[in-house]
Structure 1
Amino acid sequence: MQRSRRAAIAACMFLAIAASPGVSLAQTADELYASGVKARQAQHFDEAADLLKRALALKPGNADVLVQLGFAELGRNDLPAAREAFSRALSLAPAYQDASFGLAEVEFRSGNLDAALPLAESVVRAEPGNADAAALVETIRKAKQAAAGSKMKPAPAAAVPAKKAPPRRADPVAGLMQQGRRLRAAGKLPEAEQAYRRALRLAPKNTDILVALGLVVGSGQRFDEAGHFFDRALAIDPGLLDARLGKVRLAIWQGDLPRARALADEALASAPDNVEVLNLDARIALLEADYRRAEQSFQRAFAVDPRNAEALVGIGDVRRAEGDDAAARLAYRQALAIEPGSADIEQRLAVPPPRKWRLDIGTEMSDLSDGLGDWTDSSAGLAYRLSPATTISGRSRVATRYGHTDVQVEGRIDQAFSPAFSAYALAAATPDADFLARYSIGAGASWQVMAPARQFGPVSLNIDARYDDFANAGVTTISPRVQGYILDGRLGLSARWVHAEDDIGTRADGYVLRADLVVTPRFNLFGGYADAPEISDGTLVPTRTVFGGLSWDVSDPLTLRASLAHEQRPTFDRTIFGLGLTARF
């Protein structure tokens, strides 16, 4: 039960990280924009237009992307497409001088000198030092004079030599933003933050910078500061989608899925076809184990942008969560064809197929005081994962005490109903029992009440109930337990209360305290103390126990275990040595 619960927690953390911008699954709008600008500056206009169109699919209302797309279309001499891009940018930001300059260039190349001149002159008036705009004004005036001198209408586009857009002046803010994007993509978050902060000093009300800073500091788990940056951006532009999505990501990083869902639903209502919104909605659904909704949203994102690798990766993650590894790998390979060399996608493909079988073997040898001899207790169990949510298992146990041997068989089913709630049921029988229960039935449940957040969590509430029928008595045991983790999940602490009662009214209560420490990713220690009743041949025996042990993951499929315990009973002491292994295949 504990292993399945930890697996569910690990899967939840893995998906939340996958949604984090610090560990991007595919190119973000900012990265596509930066790549598009770089391609345009290198005069690779076809590539630039493709990249910028993909960025525009993620950020349909971004004027910067539209302006850069306009200049890329100018480079391809696609004047209608360039005019549309610049016009859309001006409808969003009427004072955007680069958009006015680009539109002036389009009108000039189209031969519309009367429309081109006032546009270019307005840029010069707004930016007196803009040499590019001044040169364009001079060129248009000369063209008008030549046309007037010949008493001819302005020549059509074919008669006017196409003039390449003058080199753009360096914009320090844009340069710092591009530098920040490159550093962030390379995983250099502190350096990216410094670049963005320098840009913010130059343009303190630039919402793109504020959002970028929020994402960077949020990736570093400085959640309060990240929220402050997003709030500043929203104070400037209350409807800014990028900042709203930043708050969605922030809620995911903090493990607050209900808040993330509420914010994502609001964004989805206002931008139902935005690819980034759809991908985030799908990621949250995946964390909620709502695989149907997750796949629908990823599929919608892919339909809007067929070159969106993140949507394909998400579809693969859904398939893997559902247990269909072959279909997951197919989706990952399709995503890799769009983004060759992506480390994130290659890592997913490198994950071995899931192992559905688990073999557990263990043995304990007890040394009793006062010359009472030894006890042995050995078991072998085999479990099979029917689906990511359902596991069935069987176990046989052979115990020897005072020259008598009992053989017990047990069947069990574990079911995860959600990432936060799971339950199990079991039944066991011992034919011709001498000291073990003739039959047993049991059930239990685990509910994660707090998701991992910063250095704390998760916290779960658990309960186990069991009835054991012995030859001379029946015993009911109820054990509620609380378990939590600190130090970023490296230290687990649990406290269990044990209540036992037999069928003649004898009652006993006690407790068990335990700590689990992750020393390295492969090596774990545990230890604890118990003052709780032990059921021995149908009798409730007060017992105090100190115990400890270790586990070592020799490899992915093999784990070795060892334990040592000392138990004090009213009539004798018992020292218990245990060894075991788990093999997954």
Structure 2
Amino acid sequence: MTFLLLSGWILSTTPAMASNFADVFEGAKKARAEGRFGEAEQRYREALTISPDNADVLLHLGIVLGILERHEEALAVLSRGIANAPDYIDLHIAVARIKGWMGRLDEAEADINYILSIDPGNTAALELRRQQAAYRDQDEDRIWRLDIGYDQSRFNRVSRKDWHEANIQITVGSKQTQGHLRAERSRRFGETDTYVRTGAAHRLNGDLGGYINLGATPAASFLPRWKVETGADYRLRDGGDFLGPTIIKLDLAQKNYASGDIRNIDPGLQQYLFNGRTWLTGRWINTYDLTPSKRLPGWSLRADWQALDSLRLFGGIASAAETESGASVTTLSRYAGAILDVTSGLGLNFAFTRDNRKAAYIRDVFSGGLSLRF
């Protein structure tokens, strides 16, 4: 009797659930068609609660997330769909399209080739190949960016005038390769130094990238006379929804002061979480004061959270050597800040840092800046 009642309940609820799913799914598609992408995302996620492994819902949700420029999250959703429906060609096309939006054109081309190996006449894949070829030829992913910043430092435990530092940087290039020119003007100890730097960054593919910076301070009083920086990062794994991409990093630097050279060898690890909305970065810092042949070990931890599509919050703590006028002393730093995209072309950033320099002083740093993108 109980079995019959349960069977009747299941049969009676199944049509209602199917009807509810259809209503939610159609509502999501309507919201997307009308450009209400935030609402569309919510409705697609509601549809997933009714049908968790539905490949059509995962496809449409991934596309909406891509339109919202939450690319890593979009790829994770589409990968979930492919795991459930590996032969669903539209999922593979969506992955290739989003990788193209991210500038990972070589990976996108490989995905398109895979699709055409299965379905040589697929019109969507052929059109996507044409579009991405035109994208390469026209170099539409050019980057022009101007960053301006200002820092003011106030001291506790010692009687010292505030430090004032201003910087300006212009960056030009593409999503794969960028070059920049930067100038920093610092006022400390009644002296003024101007540091000038140029550098370049390049991504060999979607997993591997690197950079190099060269800088100098003419007639330096307290800043390094010259500095060389280089580094690389490599994505170990793509991950999924909760535990996303894992990236290893290595940063190297050498600075020359009148008193001698300082060298840094700093490996690190970056882990994305929660569909790419949060990421943690840790570094093992190794500072070598080459004059007395002394190593000063340290570490740093930082957390970033994409609270909104236009707002990122960050904070961190570090215990590492800070070099001032050629002298390196272990300093405990705590900081927090925010990056706000006011429009697609204007961004603002704010930060507060407290440095506790061992047996010396406490320094509070107030930072602000703006970014203009062209």
Matched with 1:449 is 236
2:55 equivalent among 201, 215, 226: 215
1:379 and 2:167 matched: yes
CA distance in 2, matches of 1:438, 1:583: 30
1:360 equivalent among 130, 141, 147: 147
1:427 and 2:214 matched: yes
How far is the alpha carbon of 1:425 from its aligned partner?
0.6
Q: Helix, strand or coil for the counterpart of 2:244?
A: coil
**Would the alpha carbon gap of residues 185 and 313 (structure 1) be closer, same or farther in structure 2, given more than 3 Å must change?**
farther
How far is the alpha carbon of 1:427 from its aligned partner?
0.6
Q: Helix, strand or coil for the counterpart of 1:315?
A: helix
CA distance in 2, matches of 1:190, 1:402: 57
**Would the alpha carbon gap of residues 574 and 250 (structure 1) be closer, same or farther in structure 2, given more than 3 Å must change?**
closer
Which ranges of structure 2 fall in alignment gaps of 5 or more residues? 1-17, 30-42, 62-74
* C-alpha RMSD of matched pairs (Å): 4.0
**Would the alpha carbon gap of residues 255 and 390 (structure 1) be closer, same or farther in structure 2, given more than 3 Å must change?**
farther
CA contact (8 A) 2:59 2:78 kept: no
CA distance in 2, matches of 1:563, 1:581: 12
Matched with 1:316 is 131
Matched with 2:6 is none
CA contact (8 A) 2:93 2:124 kept: no
CA distance in 1, matches of 2:308, 2:46: 29
Matched with 1:96 is none
Matched with 1:304 is 121
Counterpart amino acid of residue 126 in structure 2: A
TM-score by length of 1: 0.49
**Would the alpha carbon gap of residues 408 and 184 (structure 1) be closer, same or farther in structure 2, given more than 3 Å must change?**
same
1:555 and 2:369 matched: no
CA distance in 2, matches of 1:564, 1:250: 34
TM-score by length of 2: 0.73
**Would the alpha carbon gap of residues 557 and 281 (structure 1) be closer, same or farther in structure 2, given more than 3 Å must change?**
closer
CA distance in 2, matches of 1:455, 1:281: 19
Matched with 1:523 is 311
CA distance in 1, matches of 2:146, 2:213: 18
CA distance in 2, matches of 1:278, 1:396: 45
**Would the alpha carbon gap of residues 301 and 583 (structure 1) be closer, same or farther in structure 2, given more than 3 Å must change?**
farther
Aligned residue pairs total 325
Counterpart amino acid of residue 215 in structure 1: A
How far is the alpha carbon of 1:417 from its aligned partner?
0.7
1:406 equivalent among 167, 180, 193: 193
**Would the alpha carbon gap of residues 519 and 408 (structure 1) be closer, same or farther in structure 2, given more than 3 Å must change?**
same
CA distance in 2, matches of 1:575, 1:276: 53
Counterpart amino acid of residue 445 in structure 1: A
CA distance in 2, matches of 1:291, 1:218: 19
How far is the alpha carbon of 1:364 from its aligned partner?
0.7
Q: Helix, strand or coil for the counterpart of 1:457?
A: strand
1:436 equivalent among 195, 198, 223: 223
CA distance in 2, matches of 1:417, 1:433: 36
CA distance in 2, matches of 1:538, 1:373: 20
**Would the alpha carbon gap of residues 489 and 285 (structure 1) be closer, same or farther in structure 2, given more than 3 Å must change?**
closer
How far is the alpha carbon of 1:288 from its aligned partner?
7.1
Matched with 2:365 is 576
Matched with 1:482 is 269
Counterpart amino acid of residue 295 in structure 2: R
Q: Helix, strand or coil for the counterpart of 2:212?
A: strand
**Would the alpha carbon gap of residues 362 and 191 (structure 1) be closer, same or farther in structure 2, given more than 3 Å must change?**
closer
- Mapping for residues 485-504 of structure 1, pairs under 5 Å: 485-503=272-290, 504=292
Matched with 1:544 is 332
**Would the alpha carbon gap of residues 214 and 573 (structure 1) be closer, same or farther in structure 2, given more than 3 Å must change?**
closer
2:184 equivalent among 372, 386, 397: 397
Q: Helix, strand or coil for the counterpart of 1:316?
A: helix
CA contact (8 A) 1:393 1:412 kept: yes
Query: 1:356-406, CA deviations, whole angstroms, 9 ceiling, x for partnerless residues?
Result: 211111111111222211111211111101x33110111011111111111
CA distance in 1, matches of 2:255, 2:245: 32
CA contact (8 A) 1:424 1:444 kept: yes
Q: Helix, strand or coil for the counterpart of 2:243?
A: coil
CA distance in 2, matches of 1:488, 1:405: 45
How far is the alpha carbon of 1:487 from its aligned partner?
2.1
Counterpart amino acid of residue 170 in structure 2: L
Which ranges of structure 1 fall in alignment gaps of 5 or more residues? 1-175, 198-212, 222-248, 268-273, 326-352
1:534 and 2:322 matched: yes
Look at both structures and tell me which one has the larger radius of gyration over its CA atoms.
1
**Would the alpha carbon gap of residues 276 and 396 (structure 1) be closer, same or farther in structure 2, given more than 3 Å must change?**
closer
Larger proportion of strand: 2
Matched with 2:37 is none
